[in-house]
Structure 1
């Protein structure tokens, strides 16, 4: 388990920082489905008490990434088709609406932000920096929610898309998949620049449908 105590800021809430470390290990596949989560070992590795670790694991379990079984233990949850599809349904509804609303408020400054994001994203994919590419993908989607003036939409998406994040880690190294994402981001951006609300929403729906389909295809052997 690759936990880094040097990144913890003791002046800030530890549970939040530990949450992000453990969640990331699950999402990127360093902690595998079915793997035991030993809260005592995590606390020792990070040099903290067990309390913030327990709080962090509880929060991760609320997102469906961890199964806490009474009298048995705590385990990384399996990736399931049902969870992926549910995450997609929630994300599609929220992001189509945020994209539709962003179209009316889209400015040249917003266009520059997304253009710069896409350039950095494309470079990350070309260099095989897939973790960075996934982070930049999230920034693209979060920025659209911020442009529409409803940042809480992204917070809701970020919680619900945990299972899809696990799938993205499997998909993005596959040849052509990262480039496909850039192409679809371009279609979304082009519609936003035209202030075409329906076109932007449709482009977002197509993008998310493609992400789900690719994830189901690549992760088929892991799905229950």
Structure 2
């Protein structure tokens, strides 16, 4: 990750999600473990169906089993873990129907966000998204798909921030474990990352021109990509579903 990437990501991370108020700087140990485990599950480092030992996780993070238990219970509520009492805990298989539901929610919200931006007549509203797009291009050129994926989320978050409803992005993100895993299985496919950049450019160009119809079309086409290939993804990774 280059210096510019680090600087922008730090700025975004330190920004208040809705552009107002104060950022909470301290979170509980269990929340930190939950966030870390979630990231490892979504990235597929912890694979669907993998058994997780509470004691091993506690040792990994250097904590007692209590915050690990609390974190795992929260992840079960998200549908990312399956806990069998007095038996075992497994990373949940990818639920395609849940992914479709979340995508429906995200599409409806993101269409409204981008329509507002297109109607605003303020090209500066998407300056942050333009910067992130540039960093995404660099990440792809460098072959860094991990950074590319992180910046992809930042790109969409920046659009929600631009209209002052970043809390709704957090709502979508909290439900996105299954669809995000599908995307991470799809991302290495030839041409997929370049296609994402293509649609990001189309979305920003349509917003900047104030063309609401073109904005709608670009958002719909962009967000439909992974689910249109879900049968192929499942066929290649049957043990994950």
Give the TM interval when normalised to the shorter protein. Answer: 0.7 to 0.9
Q: Tell me if structure 2 keeps the 8 A contact 1:168–1:215.
A: no
Structure 1 unaligned residues grouped into runs of 5+? 1-10
Worse-superposed segment, 155-164 or 84-93? 84-93
Q: Does 1:65 align with 2:65?
A: no
What TM-score does the superposition give when structure 2 sets the normalisation length?
0.82
Shift of 1:12: 4.1
User: Where does residue 3 of structure 1 map in the other structure?
Assistant: none
Contact 1:66 1:75 in 2 (8 A): yes
Contact conserved, 2:96 with 2:178, CA < 8 A, in 1?
no
Q: Give the deviation of 1:70 after TM superposition.
A: 2.8
Shift in alpha-carbon separation, 1:102–1:63, aligned structure 2, 3 A: farther
Q: The residue matched to 1:219 in structure 2 has which SS?
A: helix
Query: Which residue of structure 1 lines up, in the alignment, with residue 141 of structure 2?
Result: 126
Residues 117 and 125 of structure 2 are in contact (CA less than 8 Å); yes or no, is this contact kept in structure 1? no
1:118, 1:100 → 2: CA distance? 19
Separation in 1, partners of 2:152, 2:205: 17
154-163 vs 98-107, greater mean Cα deviation: 98-107
Gaps of 5+ in 2: 1-25
- Supply the distance in 2 between the matched residues of 1:100 and 1:68 (Cα, whole angstroms): 42
Q: CA deviation at 1:33?
A: 1.2
Report matched runs for 1:129-144 at 5 Å: 129-144=144-159
Would you say 1:217 and 2:232 are equivalent positions? yes
CA RMSD of aligned residues (A): 1.8
Q: Any idea what the Cα deviations from partners look like across 1:84-140, whole Å, max 9, x if unmatched? A: 222222221222222222323363333332222111111212222111111100011
Aligned to 2:165: 150
Determine the C-alpha separation between the residues in 2 that align with 1:101 and 1:59.
34
Classify 1:16/1:102 alpha carbon distance in 2 versus 1 (closer, same or farther; 3 Å).
Answer: farther
Work out the number of aligned pairs and report it: 214
- Secondary structure (helix, strand or coil) at the match of 1:68 reads strand
| Cα pair 1:171 1:177 within 8 Å, conserved | yes
Matched, 1:202 2:196: no
- Residue 51 of structure 2 contacts residue 91 of structure 2 at CA under 8 Å; is this kept in 1? yes
Residue 215 of structure 1 and its aligned partner are, at CA, apart by 4.4
Moved segments of 4+, more than 3 Å: none
> Offset at 1:45?
1.7
Deviation at 1:58, TM superposition (A): 1.6
Distance 1:62 1:105 in 2: 38
Question: CA contact under 8 A between 1:90 and 1:160: conserved in structure 2?
Answer: no
TM-score normalised by structure 1 residue count: 0.87
